[in-house]
Amino acid sequence: MNDLLSPGSLVTIAGGVLTVVGAVAYGTGAANLSLPTIFYGIPILLGGLALKSSELPPTRRVTPKAKLKGEREAATPELGKLLGDVTRWRYGQKAHLESSLESLKLWDEDNPPQLLEIEEICPSGHYGLRLRFACEAVPIQLWQEKKGRLSRFFAKGFEATITPLKGDRLDLFLLPVGVTASGEQSDSGETVNG
């Protein structure tokens, strides 16, 4: 259902409806209705199809939007912006956080890392985020080397913790300095501390 409600889908459907109405009106001889609907419908349909071809769906959000609302609002605004950025439809990008990963030198043009899910966490009453990535062509060792830069990149006063998972996946925790996510259990049942 979420795929149907994407902006690209809505534009495509609107263009398709206008085109069909225009074609039917043309076939029945209603020139006043057929001319505007066909002339508007076909470009809107083509624009919608172009959007659909470059569409990147929102990242899976593990924590419901209503949960931790107060903590999110009280936390540093950079984390809220990051959360909002990866949980909306994107167009013309290969992966979420594309420009951030490129500037961090954690990017591979042919096989970039993919953000699989994001979770809001609150260990010891401190708001933070857990981002699960499929590393793809970027080795986990490179992520470990960039840990210090990751800590400073997304928000000030936060520390990045990288936990390798099965396969080529990892969890990136963004928590205030001195706070750990020990004992947290991910949604998929994988233990995040090793």
Whether residues 40 and 86 share a domain: the answer is no
Whether residues 77 and 89 share a domain: the answer is yes
Whether residues 41 and 109 share a domain: the answer is no
- For CA atoms 57, 110, 92, 78, the dihedral sign is positive
The reply to whether 181 falls in a domain is: no
The reply to whether 91 falls in a domain is: yes
Distances (CA, A) of 57 to 6, 104, 106: 8, 23, 21
pLDDT of 143 reads 92
The reply to whether 33 falls in a domain is: yes
Whether residues 138 and 65 share a domain: the answer is yes
Whether residues 144 and 61 share a domain: the answer is yes
The reply to whether 182 falls in a domain is: no
Q: How far apart are CA 133 and CA 55, in angstroms?
A: 19
Question: Hey, which bits of the chain come out as E strands?
Answer: 55-56, 60-61, 90-91, 114-121, 128-134, 158-164, 169-176
pLDDT at 14 over 90: yes
Whether residues 104 and 82 share a domain: the answer is yes
Give 116-128 pLDDT, tens digit per residue.
Answer: 999 999 888 888 9
Whether residues 85 and 151 share a domain: the answer is yes
Whether residues 154 and 115 share a domain: the answer is yes
pLDDT at 184 over 70: no
Q: What's the length of the chain?
A: 194
pLDDT of 2 reads 56
Whether residues 44 and 120 share a domain: the answer is no
The reply to whether 187 falls in a domain is: no
The reply to whether 36 falls in a domain is: yes
Whether residues 172 and 85 share a domain: the answer is yes
The reply to whether 113 falls in a domain is: yes
The reply to whether 164 falls in a domain is: yes
Whether residues 46 and 71 share a domain: the answer is no
Whether residues 65 and 147 share a domain: the answer is yes
* Domain housing 152: 56-176
How many independent structural domains does the chain possess? 2
List the structure tokens of 68: 């931790």
Q: How far apart are CA 154 and CA 140, in angstroms?
A: 19
pLDDT of 189 reads 42
pLDDT of 46 reads 94
CB count within 10 Å of CB 77 equals: 10
pLDDT of 47 reads 93
Q: What is the mean pLDDT of residues 131-150?
A: 91
The percent of residues above 90 in pLDDT, for the chain, comes to 35
CATH of the domain at 75: 3.30.980
Pairing relationship of beta strands 128-134 and 169-176 according to DSSP bridges: antiparallel
**How many H-runs (helices) and E-runs (strands) does the chain carry?**
7, 7
